[in-house]
């Protein structure tokens, strides 16, 4: 940057190679209070307008443990705020390094990131602060698993540490099945981390699933629009994914339920984080089940936005969110920070390659019969891409190819537009769920389980 040029607005660096990072960059670039946005990723974005006012610059993907490179980039380009969207970067301590360099950052420090990085730690945290969560057992070996005689089947086995999505939570119906899944999870853990950690056996919890996200700054926080995400590969199977779609707002969440979520989950969690020196400036995601007694049960915490929940939320927020985000990054979230949203509903649908989530790193050519132009009503959000010399064609390069996020004055219209946009896309081997938001529109009560 030219050192003689006077800065007049905020400069953001987003470190997130998923479609969620693309969605955030599009939202920030709509604000006159933003000078420009740097988006760190492995590949260029298609030519989409994002309704942007300010430019979005693609830069080569910055590795989360390349501290010197990231710090130098921030200083050289006078970055005002770094937004970290990947758990890996947080668990590696990137936030701590940036804070020491007096660089404002949205993200959890290494000590707080353990709330997402270790399910056994988070479960113990919930117990210490009287937060309702399903009954669980943790074990470090097959022998310890076999010694547990009080678990009721079916139940879920979850990896304590972060691993690929379809093995992060697996429903098992017997001890024999549990042993087989546990062996596989321990093997994956050892390959990824060099050693096995824990597995969690968690009792079955049925009900309605919700994703609740707050933006926090120490003890202060604001609530973002509540989402319902769709985690399984289809409505008729138990295969876990990173997320196949989301809607927001959720029509069946009333004032009373919202208050219960705040009083029984959010407040005690935030207070506990402050008490245990785990608070930070950034997003905190609550994976919640509303059980059959209409009471909120906390399944998990993530120290970042969900994906696709992030795309749905950013599609509903207005550009005024920039001031709230920067206030959180600078520790000035005290007082009343209302979250301005557009009218209507958002329906977000992910497209994935056949074989997902078990197959990975597969590239597919995707042909669009129209341009990628984003509007106020719909957006295409992309993860990592490869170059393609064919017109109107992209090459996807990650498990979840891209998502379409559409807004309508009713959820019915939002769904209709999202699926209309998917109809202009041609790809051999592309799959997406056809039922995102459908049961909500029809007023059907669908019970989910604690994946």
Please report the pLDDT score of residue 335 as a whole number. Answer: 73
Please report the pLDDT score of residue 212 as a whole number. Answer: 99
Please report the pLDDT score of residue 177 as a whole number. Answer: 96
In angstroms, the CA 223 to CA 336 distance is 11
Please report the pLDDT score of residue 213 as a whole number. Answer: 98
Q: What is the DSSP string of 219-257?
A: TEEEEPPPBEE--BSSTT---B-S-SEEEES-TT--HHH
Task: Name the β-bridge partners of 436.
Answer: none
Please report the pLDDT score of residue 5 as a whole number. Answer: 57
Please report the pLDDT score of residue 337 as a whole number. Answer: 79
Maximum C-alpha span of the chain: 71
Counts for the chain of helices (H) and strands (E), in that order: 15, 24
In angstroms, the CA 7 to CA 371 distance is 34
Residue 183 lies in a domain: yes
In angstroms, the CA 228 to CA 448 distance is 11
**CATH of residue 183:** 3.30.1490.20
Q: Is residue 78 within 8 Å of 11, Cβ to Cβ?
A: yes
The answer for residues whose C-beta is within 8 angstroms of residue 2's C-beta and 6 or more apart is none
Instruction: List strands edge to edge, sheet with 364-368.
Output: 385-386, 393-396, 364-368, 425-426
Q: Which residue among 180, 203, 226 closes a domain?
A: 203
Residue 25 lies in a domain: yes
Please report the pLDDT score of residue 47 as a whole number. Answer: 53
Q: Give me the helix-helix angle, 110-117 and 119-128, nearest 10°.
A: 100
Residue 15 lies in a domain: yes
Task: Name the β-bridge partners of 213.
Answer: 285
Residue 21 lies in a domain: yes
**Other CB atoms within 10 A of residue 22 CB:** 28
User: Do residues 104 and 146 share a domain?
Assistant: no
User: Do residues 17 and 102 share a domain?
Assistant: yes
State how many domains the chain has.
2
Residue 145 lies in a domain: yes
Q: Which residue among 161, 180, 203 closes a domain?
A: 203
Residue 14 lies in a domain: yes
Q: Which residue among 144, 172, 203 closes a domain?
A: 203
Please report the pLDDT score of residue 312 as a whole number. Answer: 98
Q: Render each residue's pLDDT in the chain as its tens digit; 451 residues.
A: 455 555 679 999 999 988 999 999 999 999 999 998 998 865 555 555 566 667 788 777 777 678 889 999 999 999 999 999 999 899 999 999 999 999 999 999 999 999 999 999 999 999 999 999 999 999 999 999 999 989 999 999 999 998 876 778 899 999 999 999 999 999 999 888 888 789 999 999 999 999 999 999 999 999 999 999 999 999 877 788 999 999 999 999 999 999 999 999 999 999 999 999 999 999 999 999 999 999 999 999 999 999 999 999 999 999 999 999 999 999 999 877 789 999 999 999 999 888 888 876 567 677 766 666 677 888 888 887 766 677 667 777 667 888 999 999 999 999 999 999 998 887 777 899 999 999 888 665 556 676 6
User: Do residues 14 and 103 share a domain?
Assistant: yes
Matching residue, tokens 């470190």 = 15
User: Does residue 91 have a cis bond before it (omega within 30 degrees)?
Assistant: no
In angstroms, the CA 289 to CA 278 distance is 24
The backbone region for 416, taken as left when phi is positive above 0, alpha when psi lies in -120 to 50, beta otherwise, is alpha
Q: Is the pTM of this model over 0.85?
A: yes
Range of the domain at 34: 10-109
**CATH of residue 79:** 3.40.50.20
End-to-end CA distance of the chain: 46
User: Do residues 21 and 98 share a domain?
Assistant: yes
Express the helix, strand and coil content of the chain in percent, nearest 5 each: 30, 30, 40
Instruction: Return the SS3 of 35.
Output: strand
């Amino acid at each position: 940057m030219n050192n003689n040029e006077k800065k007049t607005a905020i400069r953001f660096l987003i470190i997130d190679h998923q479609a969620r990072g693309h969605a955030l960059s599009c939202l920030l670039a709509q604000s006159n209070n933003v000078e420009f946005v740097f988006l760190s990723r492995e590949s260029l974005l298609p030519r989409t307008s994002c309704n942007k006012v300010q430019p979005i610059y693609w830069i080569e993907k910055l590795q989360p443990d390349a501290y010197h490179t990231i710090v130098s980039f921030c200083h050289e380009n006078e970055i005002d705020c770094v937004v970290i969207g990947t758990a890996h970067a947080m668990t590696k301590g990137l936030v701590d390094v940036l804070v020491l360099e007096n660089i404002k950052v949205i993200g959890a420090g290494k000590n707080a990131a353990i709330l997402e990085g270790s399910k056994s730690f988070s479960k113990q945290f919930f117990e210490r602060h009287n937060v309702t969560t399903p009954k669980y057992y943790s074990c470090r070996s097959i022998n310890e698993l076999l010694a547990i005689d009080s678990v009721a089947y079916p139940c879920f086995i979850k990896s304590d540490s972060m691993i690929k999505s379809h093995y992060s939570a697996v429903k098992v119906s017997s001890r024999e099945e549990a042993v087989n899944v546990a062996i596989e999870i321990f093997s994956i853990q050892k390959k990824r981390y060099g050693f096995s950690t824990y597995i969690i056996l968690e009792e079955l919890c049925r009900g309605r699933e919700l994703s609740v996200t707050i933006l926090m700054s120490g003890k202060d926080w604001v609530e973002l629009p509540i989402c319902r995400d769709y985690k399984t590969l289809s409505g008729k199977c138990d295969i876990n994914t990173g997320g196949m779609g989301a809607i927001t707002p959720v029509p069946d969440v009333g004032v009373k339920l919202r208050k219960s979520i705040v009083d029984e989950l959010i407040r005690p969690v935030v207070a506990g984080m402050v008490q245990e020196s785990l608070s930070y400036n950034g997003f905190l995601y609550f994976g919640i089940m509303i059980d059959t007694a209409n009471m909120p049960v906390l399944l998990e915490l993530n120290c970042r936005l969900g994906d696709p929940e992030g795309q749905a939320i950013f599609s509903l927020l207005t550009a005024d969110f920039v001031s709230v985000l920067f206030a959180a990054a600078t520790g000035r979230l005290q007082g009343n920070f209302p979250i301005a949203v557009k009218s209507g509903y958002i329906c977000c649908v992910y497209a994935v390659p056949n074989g997902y989530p078990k197959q990975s790193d597969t590239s597919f050519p995707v042909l669009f019969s129209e341009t990628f132009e984003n509007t106020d009503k719909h957006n295409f959000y992309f993860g990592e891409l490869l170059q393609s010399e064919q017109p109107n064609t992209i090459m996807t390069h990650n498990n979840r190819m891209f998502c379409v996020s559409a807004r309508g004055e009713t959820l019915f219209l939002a769904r209709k537009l999202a699926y209309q946009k998917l109809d202009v896309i041609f790809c051999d081997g592309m799959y997406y769920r056809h039922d995102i938001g459908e049961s909500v529109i029809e007023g059907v009560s669908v019970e989910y389980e604690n994946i």
